[in-house]
Amino acid sequence: MKIKKGDNVILISGADKGKTGKVVASFPTDQKVVIEGLNMRKKHQRASRSDQKGQVIEKAMPIHVSNVAIVDPSNGKASRVGKKLVGEKFVRISKKSGSTL
C-alpha cells in the first residue's frame, strides 16, 4: 500500500469526491485508510455509566485505498506514487511532478 499515515490525500470517488484531508490511520491488510473529517457516519453510542445519557456521535469511517489519491505537493492536484533510489534508500515520489513526498 503506497498511502501512509500523515499523507495529504484527495477523494476521487464517493459522496465526498474532490475533498482533501490528512490520513489519520491506515489498515494495510484491509487496504483501507481513515481520513480526518471525511466519510463521516453517525454512530449511536450507549451510555457507559448509569448517570450518563446515550448519544449520537459522528465518526470517520475507513475508505478503500483505490478511492483516494495522494495530493502532489507542488501543484495540489491528485497524483500517483512511485519510488526512486536516492543514495542507498528508496524515497516516494509524485509521478506527476517528480517531487519527493
> 53: domain range?
8-72
Residue 21 lies in a domain: yes
Q: Confidence band (pLDDT; 50, 70, 90) for 73?
A: confident
The 10s digit of each residue's pLDDT in 31-40 is 999 999 998 9
Q: Which of 89, 99, 39, 85 is nearest to 65 (CA)?
A: 39
Residue 92 lies in a domain: no
State whether residue 35 is helix, strand or coil. Answer: strand
Number of domains in the chain: 1
For the chain, the straight-line distance linking the first and the last C-alpha, in angstroms and rounded, comes to 15
How much is the average pLDDT of 2-12?
92
CATH number of domain containing 41 = 2.30.30.30
* DSSP character at residue 31: T
What totals of helices (H) and strands (E) does the chain contain, helices first? Answer: 0, 10
Residue 48 lies in a domain: yes
Residue 34 lies in a domain: yes
